[in-house]
Structure 1
């Protein structure tokens, strides 16, 4: 029996030493844990923090990270882009909007002194049955500016025309505003970005123009007549582009289509719907109401998560957050070990900012977390289990192990 115990302890110790050296010489096969490798703090006065997480995800080992979003007392900078329906049915509304420009500017600047304004317009695709030859999908009429005279002149030059069927190209116009936002429109990186889309009609969406290719989501309106060579965009596609550009939409719409845009905002997960009077005479109040809504609701959306590493976000929304207060989202990251690859993704709080997460799923040569040496743990277990019976054999083997490790480290 004495001999059997000694032999068994030798076999067990040999196995332990083998596991130990595998972990030392080949860290990719060693025990590991998901871990935050580093954190880049957010810039001063940023509403969302931190700026970046660099993480390592071990298969089936969840990792929790926190995203904090602060509602500013009031936006430091506001870029407000007016996206106007100029189809024939909106003719009376345009006249009122033109008259309201000075009051609109004063009202907005009373809340945010550093505010810029821009103008875009849309009707529909210039092809039957959607529109007439004078219709257009989208046009940037004025890039963002603080020049009120330019704003007034641009709005005065808008006039209603064209259109055929009742729905218009609202979604495609919104997508164009997002993809052209940085350069053509000129949204400032550090400004709260809002597009106010005014309309009295429903919107066309993907599938309404099935005889042409799907909308590719870029800033080029395909076709000999711009926009006729591709379908309308999908709702999810527009949502993605708005999130990428960090733009919040406010839909200022008439009562007859309010439910359509409320459903759209529900699909987006962000934005606001406010009701216009039949002639848009309450536009200023509607915009102020919409701004108050988007300034206080916080959502967190996942962008670019190609491998599904974001397993859960809690909660999905913080509604009615008072100005000056912060809220923290808890995000669970998880790699399932199946076809995982390194990736970069973002968590976007629309209108407030984003956190980038760089995911590493390959174990580094310099491990994120030191790997426990199995010789230490299991060696003690062997001693405890078999007592002094195998002590001399165990001690001899441990000395050999130490000598071997020292020899390898010297080489």
Structure 2
């Protein structure tokens, strides 16, 4: 026991101590309000001299522990905490003049988002608390055996209530079902007398009828119940949920007081639920509102039955506790219903309903011994949890408080934890024990703005000082409000501090003042942030031998500036070009650069000295038009057309030449060689011999060749057609001979077409004698 009591205290100190190692994710808060909204651990330093001019304002936002370590004094630290104010707290009492079962009654919470606040709620069940009981009875024909007994129980029911409390009231209502097919027979004659037996006094069916408002007059209650007649319907389930909904929401008609409210529901059958109305072409959903006129439910045939969930919500909102008095065959059905409806009980009704008085007493004791504390009308952004102390120990966190077996004058308590998850406007909600009229009203405000208690400091030229920083007047900006915007907007000035549209202002490492970046001081020793857009620093360069720029250079905006005698991206090599020089005395053939005495070729050039480009397209076709100039132009001005091409003689021929054979614009073949020089796209050209041009035919030769070709084509087509005809004829003749052989029996006299005609006459009168 002692260990369990010390555990919460231990947890508290552990959480308190953990604040030293937890972080405040300030999300670049630019002022105190943004800082305290960034997280429950965030605090703001309002000392104007806490940060340097080049440091960003968001460095003022951190945990209290971190700010004090950085030099912010405790009286300069703004760290609002959640707090509460009890506005009404009547003591628990159960006198005739005043009954108070729940304390406190009204409280105000000032919550900082993320910082929960605990409320201690105490409840003591008082004896003799007023009770309202509304008796809702099923008048379908199956209840006709019970009606006589129930008529005589009116006085006993009220007496049973007065045994519990002196301030009891009782009311009465009845129900059958919707008066449409297939729930009720709509034949006019049957509607007048829906009961099977003609001798039984019977009334027309109805949905729900309110008979008697809540009263303490037992004689009136007895008279109203005694005057009731049975009715009838077709199907077994009844319209009980319709009646329950109207008896719940029509408070002014029923006469509910702000006391313990009980609703006794007596039936021997089941109930229709939402969706069953479609069987009678009733499609409009139940709206959960009061629709009573002249004590009758007017929308019975207009609206569908309510859903069980909707009914449970309305019962909870109106603080009504149902008692289901049902026969044995319906116990399981209504027990399942009771599981969905909080603070409801089910009792077994005897066959003649004579035990209803004892059932009411038992049900009331069950309801009153269970205390459920819950909230309603909870604002968005508020979270509530409960710990129940029914005995000596607290329960686990739960969505509502709950204690069983609570006796009269037993005192129980609940720890209600309320937390704001975001900033909200001032609102209120209630916490109440189900089935009891008393409630705790909780007023909630969130602390999302800082109250720094600033003294007037004249450090803002065109603005006001607040929480250590300047809030500039319209048209001015800057740390001390010294920048006059003029015709420009703040966004236009900030655009001047961006490297491009996609980058952040001053690369996120500086502050834009009047369109100029003032780079922040770095917290990293030796690091310097600089550049027009604060995009540079002196630490982000390549490392070699675990040293920045190998210790032989200076880091400048991501690049190493090597000292004399060193080179490379990390100054890792001593400067030397011996391994990069070609035989012609050029470095890397003019197609790369020398780094660490090794050629780094550009584009697709390869080999040790970038001498060739195997993957490059052949230059022969690319420069064929330039070569044609050398063949056709004797003046030798072709270098002006192709600056990359230089003609050399055979005596100047070099190794590694590419042999080319290309056609020119006159379909002549040109033979030449191309030698790549040092540099990109530079070639020497050697012409091998004169062009090879094809011999051209005369016009007469062309005409004769054309005519001969046409004549030969005609003869070929004629001969080809003759051959096809001959082949076709031969094939048909062979098929004819084959058919003649296969059908030889049709030749000559065997052919039926050539048989002589014969006539046979038989005389029936001639017997052959």
Q: Please say whether Structure 1 and Structure 2 have the same fold, judged by a TM-score greater than 0.5.
A: yes
Gaps of 5+ in 1: 1-6, 21-29, 376-397
Q: Measure, in 2, the Cα distance between the counterparts of 1:306 and 1:230.
A: 31
| Cα deviation 1:122-178 (Å, max 9, x = unaligned) | 112222223355333322100111111111111011222122222222222122112
Tell me: higher relative CO, structure 1 or 2? Use CA pairs within 8 A at least 6 residues apart: 1
Matched, 1:192 2:277: no
Partner of 2:673: none
Kindly state the Cα deviation for residue 14 of structure 1 after the two structures are TM-superposed.
9.0
Displacement after TM superposition at 1:356 (Å): 2.2
Partner of 1:27 in structure 2? none
**Distance change in 2, residues 1:220/1:200 (3 Å):** same
The match for 1:41 among 85, 89, 95 is 89
Secondary structure at the residue paired with 1:291?
helix
- Alignment of 1:145 onto 2:215: yes
Q: Distance in 2 between matches of 1:32 and 1:288?
A: 52
Range with greater deviation from structure 2 (124-133 or 139-148): 124-133
Q: Judge conservation of contact 2:121–2:413 (CA < 8 Å) in 1.
A: yes
Counterpart check, 1:348 vs 2:421: no
Q: Aligned-pair distance for 1:71?
A: 1.0
Offset from partner CA, 1:210-231 (integer Å, 9 cap, x none): 4422111110169996312112
Following the alignment from structure 1 to structure 2, what is the Cα–Cα distance between the partners of residues 275 and 100? 17
CA shift for structure 1 position 275 = 0.8
SS at 1:121's partner residue?
strand
Structure-2 change in CA distance of 1:215 and 1:10 (3 Å) = same
Pair 161,62 (structure 1): closer, same or farther in 2 beyond 3 Å: same
| Segment drifting more, 308-317 vs 85-94 | 308-317
Structure 1: distance between partners of 2:291 and 2:309: 19
SS, match of residue 240 in structure 1: helix
Distance 1:333 1:9, change over 3 A: closer
Paired residues in the alignment total 360
Looking at structure 2, the residues matched to 308 and 230 of structure 1 have their Cα atoms a distance apart, in angstroms, of: 35
**What SS class does the counterpart of residue 242 from structure 1 fall into?**
helix
Secondary structure of residue in 1 paired with 2:261: strand
SS in 2 for 1:256: helix
Query: Are the equivalent residues in 1 in contact too, given 2:242–2:300 (CA < 8 A)?
Result: no
The 2-side partners of 1:9 and 1:102 are apart by 83
Residue by residue over 1:210-267, the C-alpha shift from the partner in whole angstroms, topping out at 9 and shown as x without a partner, is 4422111110169996312112112232222222222211111111111222222221
Contact 2:50 2:60 in 1 (8 A): no
Matched, 1:332 2:387: no
Query: Please, what is the CA RMSD of the aligned residues?
Result: 3.5
- CA distance in structure 1 between the aligned counterparts of 2:408 and 2:312, rounded to whole angstroms: 26
3-state secondary structure, aligned to 1:334? strand
Conserved in 2, the CA contact under 8 Å of 1:82 and 1:119? Answer: yes
Query: Are 1:95 and 2:143 an aligned pair?
Result: no
Matching of residues 17-56 of structure 1 within 5 Å: 31-42=79-90, 44-56=98-110
Residue 67 of structure 1 is matched in structure 2 by 121
* Structure 2 counterparts to residues 77-96 of structure 1, below 5 A: 77-96=130-149
Q: Give the alignment's TM-score, normalised by structure 1.
A: 0.77
In the alignment, structure 1 residue 206 sits paired with structure 2 residue 279: no
Aligned pair in 2 of structure 1 residues 135, 36: CA closer, same or farther (>3 Å)? farther
What displacement does 1:82 show?
0.8
| CA–CA separation in structure 1 for the residues paired with 2:90 and 2:274 | 38
**Matched-pair contact (CA < 8 Å) for 1:55–1:360:** yes
- TM-score, normalised to structure 2's length? 0.43
Instruction: Check 1:164–1:332 CA distance in 2 against 1; reply closer, same or farther (3 A cut).
Output: farther
5+ long unaligned stretches in structure 2: 1-48, 63-77, 92-97, 186-190, 192-203, 389-400, 471-769
From the two aligned structures, give the one with the greater helix fraction: 1
Cα distance, 1:86 vs structure 2: 0.9
* Aligned-residue offset at 1:371: 6.1
Q: Is the 1:123–1:131 contact (alpha carbons within 8 Å) kept by the matching residues of 2?
A: no
Q: CA deviation at 1:279?
A: 1.9
**Match of 2:158?**
105
SS of aligned partner of 2:289: coil
| Alignment match, 1:276 | 349
Structure 2: distance between partners of 1:124 and 1:198: 15
Structure with higher Rg: it is 2
Change over 3 Å in CA distance of 1:331–1:372 after alignment to 2? farther
